C-alpha cells in the first residue's frame, strides 16, 4: 500500500579541500548534494469542487484512504474525478516496510461498522468502480479477512451496479483466509509484489517474495482475475524487473502496474534512481509481450491508477 512523496532525494560526493597550513596534505570530505526530482514527476496541487466534496465525505465519515495515507501524487486527479481508494481496518499497520508512509504500530480495535460506512460512502459518492485496500493486521487471527468479506458484501448490497477491486495483504500466506476473498468474488483482486526478489528483504521487511507469488497463485487457481504492482528506482536491475514480470505471469497475473518509488521521508529508503518515461515505456512493451492483458507503466502510476480500465 504506499510509496509516494513530494520531497527531493539526495546523494553524497567526495570533494578535495586544500588546507591553509601547507604542511598538511589535501583533505577529502563528503559533501551532500541535492538531487531534484525530474520534471516528469511534477503534479498539480489538488483543486476543484469534486475534490473538496470527496475530502469532505472522507473527513466527516472518519474514513481512511490510501490516497492520503500514502501521499499519492494522483490524489488531485482521482479525487477531482470524484473517486478514491478506501483503506479498511484502520490506518495503523502492523508491518514496517521501508517504502511505506502508512503509520506503523499497535492498531486500534476493529470497527465492526466500517463495512457499512464504506458501502454508504460508495453510494453517496456514486462510485462506479470501488477500490478497497487495507493495512496489514497481523494482530488479528485471520489477518482481517472477515472484515474484508463483510466490506465486499456491504458494498455489493447497497451498490449492486458497482464493480470492485480489492488490494489485499498476503494474510501470512494462510490459504483458508485467502479463500474467504475468493468466495466473496470481487471482480479484481490485487496483491503487490512491490519489488524484485533481491531487494525484498530490505524493502518489505516482514514479507516474502515467494509468499506473495503463492498468494497470487491461490487467487488465480480460485478463478479470480489478479493484478500486481512493482515500484522502480530502488536499485533493481533491468533483468530483475523482467524476471519479476515472468514470475507474476507464471502464477496467472493478468494486470501489472509499474511506477516510480518516491521517498516519503528521510527515515524511509532513499531513491536510488529516477526511471525515465522512455524506460517505463520499454517495460510496458516487455510486459505486453509476456502476455499481460494490461500494463500501466509510467513514473506516476500507482496500484489503483486507472483501475476502472482493468475489469
Q: For the ranges 19-28, 41-50, 133-142, which has the lowest average pLDDT?
A: 19-28
**What's the mean pLDDT in 233-238?**
97
Angle between helices 145-158 and 114-124 (to 10 degrees): 30
Report the distance separating Cα 80 and Cα 52, nearest Å. Answer: 8
Residue 74 pLDDT level (bands cut at 50, 70, 90): low
Three-state SS annotation for 130-178: EEEEECCCCCCCCCCHHHHHHHHHHHHHHCCCCEEEEECCCHHHCHHHH
Residue 215 pLDDT level (bands cut at 50, 70, 90): very high
DSSP state of 108: P
Give the number of other CB atoms < 10 A from CB of residue 129: 18
Q: Are 87 and 66 in contact, with CB atoms under 8 Å apart?
A: yes
Q: For the ranges 39-48, 90-99, 165-174, 204-213, which has the lowest average pLDDT?
A: 39-48
DSSP state of 194: B
Q: Is 227 exposed, middle or buried (0-12, 13-18, 19+ CB in 10 A)?
A: buried
Residue 16 pLDDT level (bands cut at 50, 70, 90): very low
9-310: CATH class: alpha beta
* Residue 109, C-alpha cell as written in the block: 480495535
**What's the mean pLDDT in 26-30?**
43
Q: What is the pLDDT of residue 86?
A: 86
Residue 63 pLDDT level (bands cut at 50, 70, 90): low
Report the distance separating Cα 64 and Cα 53, nearest Å. Answer: 15
Q: For the ranges 75-79, 174-178, 255-259, which has the lowest average pLDDT?
A: 75-79
More confident site: 184 or 81: 184
Q: What is the pLDDT of residue 77?
A: 57
Residue 240 pLDDT level (bands cut at 50, 70, 90): very high
Query: If you average pLDDT over every residue of the chain, what do you get?
Result: 83
Q: What percent of the chain is modeled with pLDDT above 90?
A: 60
Residue 76 pLDDT level (bands cut at 50, 70, 90): low
CA dihedral 197, 273, 300, 190 (to 10 degrees): 10
List pLDDT tens digits, range 274-289. 999 999 999 999 999 9
List pLDDT tens digits, range 87-141. 899 989 999 999 988 889 999 999 999 999 999 988 888 888 889 999 999 999 9
**Domain definitions of the chain by residue range:** 9-310
Q: What is the pLDDT of residue 12?
A: 41
* Residue 150, C-alpha cell as written in the block: 463483510
**H helices then E strands: how many in the chain?**
10, 12
Q: What is the pLDDT of residue 200?
A: 97
H-run or E-run covering 56: helix 49-60
Residue 264 pLDDT level (bands cut at 50, 70, 90): confident
Residue 255 pLDDT level (bands cut at 50, 70, 90): very high
More confident site: 203 or 13: 203
DSSP state of 14: E
Going by their DSSP bridges, the two strands 103-104 and 129-134 should be labelled as unpaired
Amino acid at each position: 500500500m504506499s510509496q509516494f512523496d513530494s520531497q527531493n532525494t539526495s546523494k553524497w560526493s567526495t570533494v578535495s579541500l586544500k588546507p591553509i597550513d601547507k604542511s598538511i596534505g589535501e583533505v577529502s570530505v563528503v559533501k551532500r548534494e541535492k538531487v531534484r526530482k525530474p520534471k516528469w514527476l511534477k503534479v498539480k496541487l489538488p483543486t476543484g469542487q469534486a475534490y473538496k466534496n470527496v475530502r469532505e465525505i472522507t473527513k466527516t465519515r472518519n474514513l481512511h484512504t490510501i490516497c492520503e495515507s500514502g501521499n499519492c501524487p494522483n490524489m488531485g486527479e482521482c479525487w477531482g474525478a470524484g473517486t478514491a481508494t478506501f483503506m479498511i481496518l484502520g490506518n495503523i499497520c502492523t508491518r514496517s516496510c521501508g517504502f511505506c508512509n502508512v503509520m506503523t504500530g499497535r492498531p486500534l480495535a476493529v470497527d465492526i461498522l466500517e463495512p457499512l460506512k464504506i458501502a454508504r460512502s460508495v453510494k453517496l459518492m456514486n462510485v462506479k468502480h470501488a477500490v478497497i485496500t487495507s493495512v496489514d493486521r497481523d494482530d488479528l487471527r485471520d489477518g482481517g479477512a472477515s472484515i474484508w468479506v463483510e466490506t465486499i458484501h456491504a458494498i455489493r448490497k447497497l451498490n449492486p451496479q458497482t464493480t470492485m477491486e480489492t488490494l489485499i495483504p498476503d494474510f501470512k500466506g494462510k490459504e483458508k483466509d485467502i479463500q474467504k476473498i475468493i468466495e466473496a468474488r470481487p471482480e479484481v483482486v490485487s496483491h503487490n509484489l512491490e519489488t524484485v526478489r533481491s531487494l525484498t528483504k530490505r524493502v518489505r521487511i516482514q514479507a516474502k517474495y515467494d509468499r506473495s507469488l503463492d498468494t497470487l497463485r491461490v487467487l488465480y487457481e480460485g478463478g479470480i482475475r489478479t493484478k500486481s504492482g512493482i515500484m522502480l528506482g530502488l536499485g533493481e536491475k533491468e533483468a530483475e524487473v523482467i524476471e519479476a514480470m515472468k514470475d507474476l505471469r507464471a502464477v496467472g497475473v493478468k494486470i501489472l502496474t509499474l511506477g516510480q518509488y518516491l521517498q516519503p521521508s528521510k527515515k524511509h529508503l532513499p531513491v536510488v534512481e529516477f526511471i525515465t518515461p522512455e524506460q517505463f515505456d520499454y517495460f510496458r512493451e516487455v510486459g505486453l509481450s509476456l502476455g499481460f492483458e494490461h500494463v500501466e507503466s509510467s513514473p506516476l502510476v500507482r496500484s489503483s491508477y486507472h483501475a476502472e480500465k482493468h475489469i
